Amino acid sequence: MKKVGVAILGLGVVGGGTYQILTSHREFYRRTQDVDIEVVSVLELNRDRALALGVPEEKIASNIAEVVSDPEVNIVVEVIGGVNAAREFVLAALNAGRTVVTSNKELFCKYSHELERAAKRHNAGLYFEASCVGGVPIIRTLLDGVQANEISSMIGIINGTTNYILTKMYEEGTSYEDCLKEAQRLGYAEADPTADVEGFDAAYKLSILSSLAFHTKVPFAKVFREGITGITKEDIADGRKLGYVVKLLAIGKQSDAGIEVRVHPAFVRMGHPLASVGDSFNAVFVTGDAVGDIMLYGRGAGALPTGSAIVSDIIYAATHSENKYSTFKNTAGADKDVKFVSDFESAYYMRMTVEDRPGILAKISTVFGKHGVSIVELMQKPAPAEGKVRLAIVTHTTREFSVRAAVAKINTFEDVAHVDAVLRVIS
């Protein structure tokens, strides 16, 4: 039976979950996978934390050099987070010929080209299933499940924090601020939630996933990004009346026009498979030319779900002698021949406050007409300010730049107080 030694860098939430799975399932993997996986080293500055998890004191390393020079270590698991130290440690492991498994989406998004170059140079494996969508095996699916297909689109809810907040806003009718505080209290959101609520986390993941799906490098800088901080109770209520729910979506599409990649909140029509994905769950809806539509659903974060993805990579690496790398030229930037679409097509929801006087709707409609925007649904109700009304408008499919130009023009009208919200709509 093959013996594999694993070192874990960091025993926080995910590292602790990984250690727990590996130690409790060791005999199971011996029986079902014909491989004996043992945690032979951990790098954790908080020795008490390591000891509390049951790590023998002699297995607690004091520095990365000690880890990568240990002849018993075959696979190094990086779960310390951040970029600078993680990058240094992962490169040290790869340069020592050790296979690396990482859950670090920011590191992999920004430096996968550098890490893969080191892995190839030293014939080491580089695995990253846990970097995207927690325990949902989306990366293995793209690499080994749907490779017969040309993927035309991916639409996903890939950040659990924002999905929890938006679900609570929808179910309880409470404000973004109140739901964020509740998410922080429960540990779903960090004390500084910027990476999640402003869409950075989802954009890192979309960069990784779209590169794999479309077989070309899609850098983070090419991802259009908007967060959820501007979503209000009014938007949620309007969506409910119109038959929509708000989700933070990560969207990747490939067509003859090029590649479009965007992260933003959107109205999702009730009845769409993603509309029912609530709480902190994640899901990815993939369309291939042969398989059609498939959806993967599950826990997008947490100690054991993410640990499950890490251990899956460990087992894969332990049971496959040949290392696989990117199916595309993995460089820092995009290939010069790849086109990226920024003026993408979508339907739109707009909420605006206007003067309650005859002719204002005709005036707005004229602007829409000049920019190729047509209205499919309209709601009107009184605004809090006297003499004003609120308009909620849903458009037919149009172009992003057309909507931006129309909104900019409408905002110059004296009898329009302001366009309060603009959201894309997914039917």
pLDDT, tens only, 335-367:
999 999 999 999 999 999 999 888 889 999 999
Average pLDDT score over residue span 7-32: 97
Residue 388 annotated as catalytic: no
Residues of the chain with CATH 3.30.70.260: 345-426
Please give the pLDDT value at position 416.
80
CA distance 403 to 129: 37
Give the pLDDT band (50/70/90) at residue 5.
very high
Residues of the chain with CATH 3.30.360.10: 138-295
Q: Is the pLDDT of residue 16 over 90?
A: yes
Phi–psi pair at 134, nearest 5 degrees = 55, -125
**Catalytic annotation, pick one of 110, 205, 217, 253:** 205
pTM listed for this prediction: 0.96
CATH number of 2-131: 3.40.50.720
Specify burial of residue 413 (Cβ count, 10 A radius: 0-12, 13-18, 19+).
Answer: middle
CATH number of 345-426: 3.30.70.260
Residues of the chain with CATH 3.40.50.720: 2-131
Which stretches of 145-214 are DSSP H helices?
160-172, 176-186, 194-197, 200-214
Please give the pLDDT value at position 387.
84
Local structure of 300: helix, strand or coil: coil
Q: Is the pLDDT of residue 43 over 90?
A: yes
**DSSP state, residue 352:** E
Give the pLDDT band (50/70/90) at residue 132.
very high
CA distance 358 to 360: 6
Give the pLDDT band (50/70/90) at residue 21.
very high
Domain 138-295, what fold? Dihydrodipicolinate Reductase; domain 2 (3.30.360)
Phi-psi region of 399 (alpha: psi -120 to 50; beta: other; left: phi over 0): beta
CA distance 307 to 54: 17
Q: Is the dihedral of CA 176, 178, 182, 187 positive or negative?
A: positive
**C-beta separation of 15 from 8 below 8 A:** yes
